[in-house]
Amino acid sequence: MLKQTNPYQIFNILPSPCLVLLPDAPEFTVADCNPAFTTVTGLSQTIVSGKGISAIIANSGAGSDIFTALNLALKQKSATRVNAFPGESDWGYKRFFDINITPLLSDNGNLYCLLLSLTDVTEAIAMKQQAAMDARELKQAAQLMSQVQEMASFGNWRWDVAQNKVTWSDALYHIYGLDKTSFKATFEGYRDLLHPDDRDRITAKIGEALQLQKDITFEERIIRPGGEIRYLQSWGRVQTDENGMPTAMIGACLDITDRKIAEATLNSERQLRVANIEQQNKQLSEIAWMQSHVIRAPLARVMGLIEVYRSCDGDNCEQGELINQISDSVWELDGIIREIVSRAERA
């Protein structure tokens, strides 16, 4: 506690804005203010002296806190504090102050005045508010990224090589069908989740990337706890220290199972269509062969009869002309059938 002394000698040299208050609760009359208070608030000693504290600090919300702190300091004869008091609007600008109330005691322990000092904390509050806002925005961005990754079946990971600690995004746990609270990711744990036919190939590829410090891209198959096989398109990049030694790998995985299923279905349908076409061609060839032989058999008989008829004696010109026309038509039809057969064999 401060011993009794001239308050004017105290607060006039203090850099913080100060008021000297009389202990006449509930008014707490202002005895004086220092130049720093006048500079901050624009209120001179003439204006504030003789007025109760409520006339100086009229903010009803924080005002009740100040009166509580004043009465507590008066009762306990000990310092009290009010955090982040908003300055009055007529002070010219919006500022925030921490208020410290220090009781001044005489030599015999009697409280003869209260020293109220203001500490400008506007910048600190602004920084705290900005930090809170940035934290909220980062949290929202992380939540949005997690939602986007889950919707796109796209997850990312980081492997601390030295500590053998693997960090997965929430979406990656979803892709693998694992619970992040029960599965502790390590390289060995990841390797165990690979399809047995892919395990050695992927392990060698990652080892090569670490040795050569190069980016890698690969497809892999994983097996979920329930036995379901998923196809992933994966990327990896090696991170090194200042000496060029690998320290970590970062990467991402895209679940391409649906695409693989669609491709397999498309290939199956394409193969089925090709088989159907080949079968149709075979059937057409068989039909063409059958038709050509069925048709040519009677044609051969007709042509043979015509030749026999020609070899017979007779001078009927009209019949001869008719026979010639029939012969020409038959040979023409035979040529057409031969062409059909030839084309069917080439199909």
What's the CA gap between 173 and 176, in Å, rounded? Answer: 5
pLDDT higher at 106 or 325: 106
Which helix (H) or strand (E) segment holds residue 220: the answer is: strand 216-223
pLDDT higher at 231 or 139: 231
Residue 32 has pLDDT above 70, yes or no: yes
DSSP letters, 245-264, are: -EEEEEEEEEE-HHHHHHHH
pLDDT band at 218; cut points 50, 70, 90: very high
Give the tens place of pLDDT for each residue, 54-68.
Answer: 888 765 456 788 889
- The share of the chain scoring above pLDDT 70, in percent, equals 73
Q: What is the pTM of this model?
A: 0.45
Q: What is the mean pLDDT of residues 278-291?
A: 69
What's the CA gap between 128 and 302, in Å, rounded? Answer: 110
Residue 70 has pLDDT above 70, yes or no: yes
pLDDT higher at 83 or 303: 83
CA distances from 162 to 124, 159, 248, 342 (A): 40, 9, 8, 74
pLDDT higher at 33 or 287: 33
Closest CA to 187 of 153, 209, 159: 159
Residue 128 has pLDDT above 90, yes or no: no
* HSE value, Cβ hemisphere, 13 Å, CA-based, for 287: 7
When the candidates are 3.20.20.450, 3.40.50.2300, 3.40.640.10, 3.30.450.20, the CATH number that belongs to 153-255 is 3.30.450.20
Give the tens place of pLDDT for each residue, 159-198.
Answer: 998 888 898 988 899 899 999 888 888 889 999 999 999 9
Residue 81 has pLDDT above 60, yes or no: yes
What pLDDT score was predicted for residue 1? Answer: 40
What pLDDT score was predicted for residue 296? Answer: 65
What pLDDT score was predicted for residue 160? Answer: 92
pLDDT higher at 132 or 156: 156
pLDDT higher at 297 or 190: 190
What pLDDT score was predicted for residue 58? Answer: 61
- Enter the tokens of residue 235: 């990327």
Which residues lie below 8 Å from residue 177, measured CB to CB, with a gap of 6+? Answer: 224, 225, 226, 228
Q: Chain centroid to CA 158: how far?
A: 15
Q: What is the mean pLDDT of residues 305-320?
A: 61
DSSP letters, 258-304, are: HHHHHHHHHHHHHHHHHHHHHHHHHHHHHHHHHHHHHHHHHHHHHHH
Contact 79, 103 (CB under 8 A): yes
Lowest-confidence range among 32-36, 101-105, 299-303? 299-303
What's the CA gap between 239 and 63, in Å, rounded? Answer: 57
Assigned CATH for 7-120: 3.30.450.20
The DSSP bridge partners found for residue 253 are 155, 234
Residue 91 per-residue DSSP state: G
Residue 3 has pLDDT above 50, yes or no: no
